[in-house]
Structure 1
Amino acid sequence: MADTASIPDDIAGLSFEAALKELEQIVEKLDSGNVDLDQSIEIYTRGSLLKQHCDDKLRSAQERVDKIVSQNGNLSTQPANVE
């Protein structure tokens, strides 16, 4: 799992959806080309942290789903065989 200690508290407290929305806004700003170099570096850094946070949230959700669909003590992402 990624080092969550490097994620600032204000990002760590965001839901997946909120973090993704902010990340999308950062991408739009950077794509616009209307941001000076220093600000670009600053928001790119924040975007990287938001991406890491989103990746961590998705990984955690996948692990929970895998546990839900476990069969006979084995994790499985495959549907059960229906005979």
Structure 2
Amino acid sequence: MDQKLAESTDIDGMSFEAALAELEQIVRTLEQGQAPLDESIELYQRGDRLKRHCDARLKAAQARIEKITLGPDGQPQGVDSFDAG
């Protein structure tokens, strides 16, 4: 299997929390500036894939969120889709 495909598959199976934790570690490593150039480039690319994965997981979660609507008497009446606007 191609290494990039394996890494993408690896990331696709990660939870949001695991992907975010790895992304934070990559950011710390890059901010320290101690990694060789080639390693820094690879870390940046993996970090970008992790960020996109986290964004997609957040958007999917947001799409599933519903808000409870209340009737005139203040009692729950039903649910509406989440509206971030």
SS in 1 for 2:35: coil
Alignment of 1:2-41 (within 5 A): 8-41=8-41
Percent identity between the aligned chains? 49
- The two structures, once aligned, show a CA RMSD in angstroms of 2.4
Task: Tell which structure's C-alpha radius of gyration is larger.
Answer: 2
Please report the TM-score for the alignment, with normalisation by the length of structure 1: 0.74
Structure 1 unpaired stretches of 5+: 1-6, 79-83
Equivalent of 1:69, from 67, 75, 82?
A: 67
SS in 1 for 2:34: coil
Please report the TM-score for the alignment, with normalisation by the length of structure 2: 0.73
Q: Is the 8 A contact 2:62 2:82 kept in 1?
A: no
Higher relative contact order (CA 8 A, sep 6+): 1
